């Protein structure tokens, strides 16, 4: 996969995309990263890439000329791959979106900055917009790094274990189960016996139930779209009953405490 990133601040990508797994993925040829400085496509002596908005208001707007000139110089005229504007107005990045993007042979990302980009950039050269969440960053550079990481780790052979991505949180619609490693006991907290039992079927059952438990307690909204078996549904029903009993006990304790007072 080839990834092109258009940015006013290419130096921001040093470190996050040149270390650890991203570095190894590039060395093994899983993807190549190409950074393009939008200021290189400005035409004045001050390399002006932004202007105040028409109509007034705070902040500056990225000019259309250098952004579009950069894209048209680097990318082919026929762009049958995602050309993404990182924007809080875009569709929200999810694991499913990352999996979709991982199928492309090439990706291009445009990092907005300041108050945003001139609308004509969207109209002329953008075919997708992505947000990494419902909050605002100072620019699209951090969002681009997140997308690169989320996508590249899904490429073949990057993680070593080809089944690893399918086990991640959100990959199955659920949060991942707890993990443990050595030592078997640490500060009074022990590894669950089932994990050191060597009984593969029991281990898988425990992991599935803990994944369901964690999702139920932390992100119950995910259960609305997760693929659940009959056994999963029965286990969730048990969790719901446990929660009802716990809340009833807490209420009884409060009532008893108020009576004493």
CA atoms of 22 and 149, how far apart (whole Å): 7
Q: Judge whether 185 counts as a catalytic residue.
A: no
Burial of 255 (0-12, 13-18, 19+ CB in 10 A): exposed
**In DSSP terms, which residues pair with 166 in a beta bridge?**
none
Q: Determine if residue 247 is left, alpha or beta; phi over 0 gives left, psi from -120 to 50 gives alpha, anything else beta.
A: alpha
Q: Judge whether 168 counts as a catalytic residue.
A: yes
Q: Judge whether 115 counts as a catalytic residue.
A: yes
The one catalytic residue in 141, 153, 165, 213 is 153
The one catalytic residue in 115, 176, 210, 232 is 115
The one catalytic residue in 50, 64, 66, 88 is 88
Return the biggest CA–CA distance within the chain: 80
Burial of 110 (0-12, 13-18, 19+ CB in 10 A): buried
**Active-site annotation, residues:** 88, 115, 153, 168
């Amino acid at each position: 996969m080839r990834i092109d990133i258009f940015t006013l601040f290419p130096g921001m990508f040093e470190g996050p995309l040149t270390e650890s797994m991203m570095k190894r993925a590039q060395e093994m040829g899983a993807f190549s990263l190409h950074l393009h400085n939008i200021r290189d496509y400005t035409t004045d002596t001050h390399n002006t890439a932004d202007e105040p908005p028409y109509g007034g208001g705070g902040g500056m707007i990225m000019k259309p000329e250098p952004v579009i000139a950069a894209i048209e110089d680097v990318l082919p005229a026929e762009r049958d791959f995602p050309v993404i504007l990182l924007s809080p107005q875009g569709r929200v990045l999810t694991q499913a979106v990352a999996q979709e993007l991982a199928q492309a042979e090439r990706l291009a990302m445009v990092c907005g900055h300041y108050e945003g980009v001139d609308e004509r950039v969207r109209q002329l050269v953008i075919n997708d917009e992505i947000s990494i969440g419902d909050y605002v960053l100072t620019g699209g550079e951090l969002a681009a790094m997140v997308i690169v990481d989320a996508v590249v780790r899904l490429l073949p052979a990057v993680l070593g274990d080809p089944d690893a991505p399918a086990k991640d949180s959100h990959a199955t619609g659920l949060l991942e189960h707890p993990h443990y490693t050595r030592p078997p006991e640490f500060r009074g907290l022990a590894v669950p016996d089932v994990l050191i039992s060597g009984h593969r079927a029991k281990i898988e059952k425990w992991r599935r139930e803990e994944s369901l438990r964690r999702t139920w307690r932390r992100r119950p909204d995910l259960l609305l779209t997760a693929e659940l078996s009959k056994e999963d549904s029965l286990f969730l029903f048990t969790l719901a009953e446990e929660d009802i009993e716990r809340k009833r006990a807490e209420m009884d304790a409060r009532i008893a405490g108020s009576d004493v007072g």
